[in-house]
Amino acid sequence: MDIGAIIGDIFAAPFVCIGWLIVGAIAGIVANNLMKSNQPLIIDIITGLIGAVVGGFLLSLFGIYRSEGGLGGVIISLIVAIIGAVVVIAIWRAINGRRVAR
């Protein structure tokens, strides 16, 4: 049992959550711009976080798993989150029957 590793994980946890929020916000903003949706920032963050889960699930269905860590992992996570957020917005629109105003 490595106490140093446990303490390091505890201190790193808030930073990981902040990273998730940042990636979720960026993914949500990009997805809402791609889908021509006008939502508040908090909805962008929620859309991006849900999109990251959906995107990860969709990729796992195809047997594709992302690499862990580093800048490459962050970029891949961001792309997956954007794709998932676009899917979430499309499903939401299909359920609500709303169209984009031109």
Domain of 75 in residue numbering reads as: 3-96
Residue 70 forms part of a structural domain: yes
Residue 84 forms part of a structural domain: yes
pLDDT in tens, the chain (102 residues): 577 776 676 666 676 677 777 888 888 889 888 888 778 888 888 888 888 888 888 887 887 766 666 777 778 888 888 888 898 888 888 888 766 555
Residue 101 forms part of a structural domain: no
Other residues' Cβ atoms within 10 Å of the Cβ of residue 29: 18
Residue 8 forms part of a structural domain: yes
Beta carbons of 95 and 40 less than 8 angstroms apart: no
Statement: the pTM of the whole predicted model exceeds 0.85: no
Residue 25 forms part of a structural domain: yes
Closest by CA to 93, choosing from 24, 54, 47, 49, is: 47
The first and second tokens of residue 22, run together, are 């940042």
Structural domain count of the chain: 1
